[in-house]
């Protein structure tokens, strides 16, 4: 092998997809402004002094185009000097935070891609690399069944395999040579571990032959000799002066001329001895005479142009890479697929064993014993291969919220495969366009429903493998369904063995110390959002689920827990000061802004949903205008209102004004609102589902429609219809509630003897004709109403009739008229409701139809109504409609009459 091979190691190669270091190009949205850093050599600063450059940067910062830290206040009609000042100060803190991040990371994609380096990763040089952040540890090792749980065999110590100043430990797990195999001749030999085939598997040439071809193609005849021996001339000059034939005394030495003069003299004396090819350009370089200005050199322009035109022999370089077949033949993995392992840490308080924070597959508790991580590196034939493309993001969302574990009919934990087979087709048939999964991220205690997360990068092993979850997401995409996840970054489980609490023996690794580090009521730990390494962990976690599992969005759970030091449990009066006083955690808000900016920059079609009971101002406003940058916000007050009405208020005392005020949401942001009549909270958090409240045991005791059943069915449909159509462009329903599941959800706990009898869904109810089939039929038609007519995506509601006496609500969305009569007994034969357009209106959805378990009070010949030219509700025309008690109708303008 020729000596010029040493130059190849300095060629910057673009990583291949088989390496964990792949960088993908990203397209930034126009609204996202990330600070950019341009690195320049001091010699190319265009003659600007540091003060001039500082003034220029300061000027840019003070007047960035399109940035207004208080821009959304005017839009929402908020006039409050104190809050405006707070937003400006928060924006300055955000800029400082971004600058601090860019001192540590190349860019924000790098900040959000820690999973490419940290954790367990296959290296192309027949090994597995492990990295972990444990700043409080003194020693780090990987223990597992692959090394008999030895704390010394695979270790990292300072001065050994790696420990940097930020507390990141690095361990190399070398693959093992098979018996009779010899080590690779090239210490940098790479393997394409993923693909069975590449040139390396079938190339009969030796490495020497490959590199010789590279040298022959890259170097011109005779050129490589002088590049490889770049000190030859210098050595000859030195020999002339100090060698055995050189001057022996100071008198003979005389004055030593400067280097340039010596070189020119030597070149003139040896011009006849120069055996270089005459076609080679000159490589003579000298500086421009300025002291220390080593970057400004004068060289031959022809030589420079010729050198820059050269292309490194990358093709030959990659020809030395071998494929997986060659790797399997020669090596066995240092840590095999499926191995159990933990990280062993020696700390000031003694040795600890932990599940790595970045582990991607975890068994949190094995038969009461300590949990462990599972090394997940399936061979190519077992790795899931994606089939379907992601669906396009719709203009409105119809979200089906589900929990995989309780999605089966049997009293046991259901699997991803069960969900794919039974639930996904139902979601599609029911008319939804997105499924939102709760409890998918690994958690130790099943009864917590997945909200006390222990391992943020791991899919819950109780439902299946990572490949199973990939198949679930892919199958959903094949059905045209987006897949959202409930993401819990507002707090973390307090477990020390499998979670992050006291991870490295210190109390300030991921979480705050003292009282601030603990949730006041839930016993969970609170993240330290101002720490760059914690931000690195959380932002990378969001990006991980999108990159690895192709999820389409996140519902950020319980933001009030993180945004306020009182965890959102204080009494809110509506005073703006409550959103910027001493109890507001500015660092948490900055994290949410960074999360939204980074996610939308890396994945422009991502959907982020804010679940904040306090409805913090600017949740869905652009970050460039002082907002937090979410796409939708959840309005939980609607569900609380319905639950209060059903449990505590007589039907005749329901307030129509309160219904409308609650469902309309935040002024100026109603189009970004996500509403639900009930989600998992009602049925999982110890309470009853609406169907359980409305029906009780009525369904079990009666097979015919009676007053109690009629009331329950009527309110069930009306509550859903008005919640779905009066608000924003997003609606959510929890699994089973669409057909009136008569039982609540109760996870197995000690209080119920760990019973699974209520931790499931009774899908068999849909196999028998009756109320449940009828409610599902209404749900499908309600979803189709928007799917076909795009009602909630094309228009915002114009609420023009709210009457607390008659208990009637009416509003328009484009050419569609919605009328609700909540009165428990009063029906109206000719109820006047205003409309703008004169013409014929036809009923396209009626909750009182018999096919929906209604009374069928409106005959077919009464389904079309003509307008009357009379001003009602501020409109030029009106309809005189039949309104049965506890019923709702949707009219569509089918014919316009011109006067």
Tens of pLDDT along 713-769?
999 999 999 999 998 899 999 999 999 998 888 888 888 888 998 899 999 999 999
pLDDT of residue 33: 38
Q: Are 712 and 763 in contact (CB under 8 A)?
A: no
Tokens of 58: 């300061």
pLDDT of residue 30: 32
For 398-407, 456-465, 520-529, 743-752, which range has the lowest pLDDT when averaged over its residues? Answer: 743-752
For 89-98, 334-343, 441-450, which range has the lowest pLDDT when averaged over its residues? Answer: 441-450
Same domain, 774 and 710: yes
Same domain, 849 and 728: no
Q: From residue 612, how far is each of 617, 666, 727 by CA, in Å?
A: 10, 13, 17
Look at residue 383 and tell me whether its pLDDT is greater than 80. Answer: yes
Same domain, 822 and 712: no
Look at residue 16 and tell me whether its pLDDT is greater than 70. Answer: no
Look at residue 804 and tell me whether its pLDDT is greater than 60. Answer: yes
Look at residue 362 and tell me whether its pLDDT is greater than 90. Answer: yes
Look at residue 770 and tell me whether its pLDDT is greater than 70. Answer: yes
Same domain, 727 and 836: no
pLDDT of residue 311: 74
Residue 508 lies in a domain: no
Q: What is the DSSP string of 86-100?
A: HHHHHHHHHHHHHHH
Task: Determine the Cα angle at 660 with ends 655 and 661, to 5°.
Answer: 95
Residue 296 lies in a domain: yes
Residue 707 lies in a domain: yes
Q: Are 628 and 616 in contact (CB under 8 A)?
A: yes
Is the four-CA dihedral 487, 491, 495, 497 of positive or negative sign?
positive
Same domain, 809 and 670: no
Tokens of 436: 């939102």
Q: What's the chain's average pLDDT?
A: 85
Task: Determine the Cα angle at 485 with ends 480 and 489, to 5°.
Answer: 160
Ramachandran quadrant class, 380 (left: phi over 0; alpha: psi -120 to 50; beta: rest): alpha
Look at residue 508 and tell me whether its pLDDT is greater than 70. Answer: yes
Tens of pLDDT along 89-106?
999 999 999 999 999 999
Same domain, 170 and 244: yes
pLDDT, greater one: 606 or 700: 606
Residue 759 lies in a domain: yes
Q: Say which CATH number the domain at 892 has.
A: 2.60.40.1180
Same domain, 721 and 736: yes
Look at residue 65 and tell me whether its pLDDT is greater than 80. Answer: no
Which residues in 452-489 are b (16+ Cβ under 10 Å) and which e?
bbbbbbbbbbbbbbbbbbbbbbbbbbebebbbbbbbbb
Same domain, 279 and 308: yes
For 38-47, 196-205, 680-689, 809-818, which range has the lowest pLDDT when averaged over its residues? Answer: 38-47
Residue 266 lies in a domain: yes
Q: How many CB atoms are closer than 10 A to CB 117?
A: 16
Residue 111 lies in a domain: no
pLDDT class for 286, splitting at 50, 70, 90? low
Tens of pLDDT along 139-153?
999 999 999 999 999
- Structural domain total, the chain: 3
HEC profile of 211-235: HHHHHHHHCCCCHHHHHHCCCHHHH
Q: Select from 316, 347, 378 the last residue of a domain.
A: 347
Look at residue 62 and tell me whether its pLDDT is greater than 80. Answer: no
Q: Pick the closest to residue 737 from 726, 752, 723, 725 (CA basis).
A: 723
Residue 378 lies in a domain: no
Same domain, 288 and 411: no
Q: Are 774 and 709 in contact (CB under 8 A)?
A: no
Q: Select from 347, 378, 411 the last residue of a domain.
A: 347
Residue 85 lies in a domain: no
Cα–Cα distance, 782 to 385 (Å, whole number): 36
Residue whose entry in the numeric block shows the structure tokens 């949903």: 609
Q: Classify residue 240 by its DSSP letter.
A: H
pLDDT, greater one: 890 or 259: 890
- Provide the residue range defining the domain that includes 185: 121-199+206-347
pLDDT of residue 165: 84
Q: Say which CATH number the domain at 768 has.
A: 3.20.20.80
Q: Is 89 a catalytic residue?
A: no
Q: Select from 775, 794, 813 the last residue of a domain.
A: 794
Cα–Cα distance, 696 to 819 (Å, whole number): 28
Tens of pLDDT along 214-273?
777 777 666 666 555 656 666 777 777 777 777 777 777 777 777 677 777 777 777 776
Look at residue 283 and tell me whether its pLDDT is greater than 60. Answer: no
Look at residue 279 and tell me whether its pLDDT is greater than 70. Answer: no
Q: Pick the closest to residue 756 from 391, 411, 390, 249 (CA basis).
A: 411
pLDDT of residue 22: 38
Tens of pLDDT along 447-495?
889 899 999 999 999 999 999 999 999 999 999 999 999 999 999 999 9
Same domain, 277 and 172: yes
Which pTM was predicted? Answer: 0.84
Tokens of 382: 């077992």
pLDDT of residue 216: 75
Tens of pLDDT along 167-195?
999 999 999 999 999 888 777 788 888 77
pLDDT of residue 780: 97
Same domain, 666 and 801: no
Same domain, 772 and 660: yes
The mean pLDDT of 407-433, rounded to a whole number, is 96
Catalytic: which of 116, 401, 611, 746? Answer: 611
pLDDT cut 90: percent of the chain above it: 60
């Amino acid at each position: 092998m020729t000596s010029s091979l040493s130059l190849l190691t300095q060629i910057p190669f673009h990583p291949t997809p088989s390496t964990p270091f792949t960088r993908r190009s990203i397209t930034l949205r126009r609204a996202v402004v990330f600070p950019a850093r341009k690195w320049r050599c001091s010699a190319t600063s265009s003659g600007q002094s540091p003060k001039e450059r500082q003034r220029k940067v300061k000027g840019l910062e003070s007047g960035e185009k399109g940035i207004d830290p208080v821009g959304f206040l005017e839009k929402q009609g908020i006039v409050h000097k104190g809050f405006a000042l707070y937003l400006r100060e928060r924006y300055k803190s955000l800029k400082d935070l971004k600058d601090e991040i860019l001192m540590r990371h190349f860019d924000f994609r790098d900040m959000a891609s820690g999973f490419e380096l940290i954790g367990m990763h296959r290296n192309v040089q027949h090994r597995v690399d492990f990295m972990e952040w444990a700043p409080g540890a003194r020693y780090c090792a990987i223990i597992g069944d692959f090394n008999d749980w030895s704390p010394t065999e695979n270790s990292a110590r300072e001065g050994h395999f790696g420990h940097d100043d930020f507390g990141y430990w690095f361990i190399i797990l070398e693959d093992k040579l098979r018996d009779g195999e010899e080590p690779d001749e090239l210490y940098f030999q790479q393997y394409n571990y993923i693909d069975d085939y590449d040139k390396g598997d079938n190339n009969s040439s030796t490495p020497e032959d490959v590199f010789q071809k590279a040298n022959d193609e890259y170097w011109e005849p005779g050129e490589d000799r002088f590049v490889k021996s770049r000190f030859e001339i210098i050595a000859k000059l030195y020999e002339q002066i100090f060698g055995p034939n050189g001057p022996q005394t100071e008198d003979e030495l005389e004055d030593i001329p400067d280097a340039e003069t010596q070189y020119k003299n030597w070149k003139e004396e040896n011009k006849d001895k120069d055996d270089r090819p005459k076609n080679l350009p000159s490589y003579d370089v000298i500086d421009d005479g300025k002291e220390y200005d080593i970057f400004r050199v004068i060289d031959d322009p022809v030589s420079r142009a010729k050198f820059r035109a050269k292309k490194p022999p990358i093709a030959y370089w990659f020809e030395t890479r071998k494929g997986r077949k060659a790797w399997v033949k020669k090596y066995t993995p240092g840590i095999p697929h499926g191995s159990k392992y933990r990280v062993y840490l020696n700390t000031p308080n003694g040795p600890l064993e932990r599940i790595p924070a970045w582990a991607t597959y975890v068994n949190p508790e094995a038969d009461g014993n300590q949990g462990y991580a599972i090394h997940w590196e399936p061979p190519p034939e077992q790795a899931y291969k994606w089939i379907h493309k992601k669906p396009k993001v719709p203009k409105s969302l119809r979200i089906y919220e589900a929990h995989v574990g309780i999605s089966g009919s049997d009293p046991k934990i259901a699997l991803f495969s069960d969900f794919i087979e039974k639930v996904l087709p139902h979601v599609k048939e029911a008319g939804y366009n997105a499924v939102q999964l709760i409890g998918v991220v690994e958690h130790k205690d099943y009864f917590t429903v997945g909200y006390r997360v222990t391992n943020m990068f791991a899919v819950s092993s109780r439902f299946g493998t990572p490949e199973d979850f990939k198949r679930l997401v892919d199958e959903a995409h094949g059905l045209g369904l987006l897949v959202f996840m409930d993401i819990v970054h507002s707090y973390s489980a307090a477990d020390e063995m499998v979670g992050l609490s006291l991870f490295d023996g210190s109390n300030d690794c991921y979480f705050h110390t003292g009282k601030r580090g603990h949730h006041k009521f839930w016993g969970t730990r609170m993240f330290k959002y101002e720490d760059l390494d914690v931000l690195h962990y959380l932002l990378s976690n969001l990006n991980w689920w999108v990159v690895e599992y192709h999820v389409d969005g996140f519902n950020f759970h319980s933001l009030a827990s993180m945004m306020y030091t009182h965890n959102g449990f204080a009494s809110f009066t509506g005073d703006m000061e409550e959103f910027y006083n001493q109890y507001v955690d500015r660092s948490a808000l900055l994290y949410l802004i960074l999360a939204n900016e980074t996610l939308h920059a890396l994945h422009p079609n991502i959907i982020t949903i804010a679940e904040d009971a306090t409805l913090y101002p600017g949740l869905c406003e652009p970050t460039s205008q002082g907002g937090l940058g979410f796409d939708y916000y959840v309005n939980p007050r609607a569900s609380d209102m319905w639950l209060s009405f059903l449990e505590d208020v007589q039907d005749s005392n329901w307030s129509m004004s309160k219904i409308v005020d609650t469902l309309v949401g935040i002024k100026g942001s109603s189009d970004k609102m996500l509403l639900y009549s009930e989600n998992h909270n009602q049925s999982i958090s110890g309470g009853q589902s609406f169907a359980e409240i409305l029906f009780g045991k009525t369904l079990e005791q009666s097979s015919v429609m009676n007053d109690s059943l009629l009331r329950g069915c009527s309110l069930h449909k009306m509550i859903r219809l008005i919640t779905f159509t009066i608000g924003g462009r997003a609606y959510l329903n929890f699994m089973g509630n669409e057909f009136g599941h008569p039982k609540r959800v109760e996870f197995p706990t000690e209080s119920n003897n760990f019973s699974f009898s209520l931790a499931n869904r009774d899908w068999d109810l849909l196999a028998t004709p009756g109320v449940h089939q009828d409610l599902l039929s209404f749900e499908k038609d309600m979803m189709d109403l928007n799917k076909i007519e795009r009602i909630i995506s094309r228009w915002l509601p114009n609420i023009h009739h709210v009457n607390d006496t008659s208990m009637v609500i009416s509003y328009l969305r484009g050419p569609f008229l919605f009328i609700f009569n909540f009165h428990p007994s009063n029906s109206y034969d000719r109820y006047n409701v205003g409309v703008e357009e004169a013409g014929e209106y036809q009923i396209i959805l009626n909750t009182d139809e018999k096919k929906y378990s209604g009374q069928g009070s409106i005959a077919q010949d009464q389904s079309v109504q003509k307008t009357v030219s009379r001003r009602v509700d501020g409109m030029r025309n009106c309809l005189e409609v039949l309104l049965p008690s506890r019923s709702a109708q949707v009219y569509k303008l089918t014919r316009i009459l011109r006067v």
